[in-house]
Amino acid sequence: MKKSLFVLIAALIVFNALPTIGQAQTVCGSRAEFVKKLQKGYAEKPVSVGLASNGSMIEIFASENGTFSIVITQPSGNTCLVAAGDNWQSAPDKKAEIRL
């Protein structure tokens, strides 16, 4: 359920950003370079990952101070920045309730 919800939210973010991406210059490159720059420049680390139906990998990177970036890596290996911002908050984990 949690994985399905992540993929749904990530897909909505990606599809919502598409018109903006078409108007703005998209930043793309190698995944290794993105990971390096996000870690060194913003102290962001991977917090979520999902696989889209077209085989693209969607990743969310976030830092402890709230910055975040969403990147998509296509099956060809090309990685593009989809969105970035501030005030990232992780959803709390809900524990299963045991009833006897």
Q: Give which of 39, 32, 27, 78 is closest to 57, Cα–Cα.
A: 78
Separation of alpha carbons 67 and 2, rounded Å = 22
pLDDT of residue 100: 72
For residue 61, tell me if it sits in a domain.
yes
Question: In the chain, how many domains are there?
Answer: 1
Which domain, by its residues, includes 77? 2-85
Strand partners, 45: 62
For residue 96, tell me if it sits in a domain.
no
pTM of the predicted model as reported, rounded to 2 decimal places: 0.69
As a whole number, the mean pLDDT across the chain is 82
For residue 63, tell me if it sits in a domain.
yes
Torsion of CA 1, 39, 81, 91, to 10 degrees: 30
For residue 75, tell me if it sits in a domain.
yes
Question: Is residue 66's pLDDT more than 60?
Answer: yes
For residue 26, tell me if it sits in a domain.
yes
For residue 95, tell me if it sits in a domain.
no
What are the structure tokens assigned to 7, written together?
């993929």
Give the model confidence (pLDDT) of 29-50 as tens digits. Answer: 999 999 999 999 999 999 999 9
For residue 23, tell me if it sits in a domain.
yes
For residue 91, tell me if it sits in a domain.
no
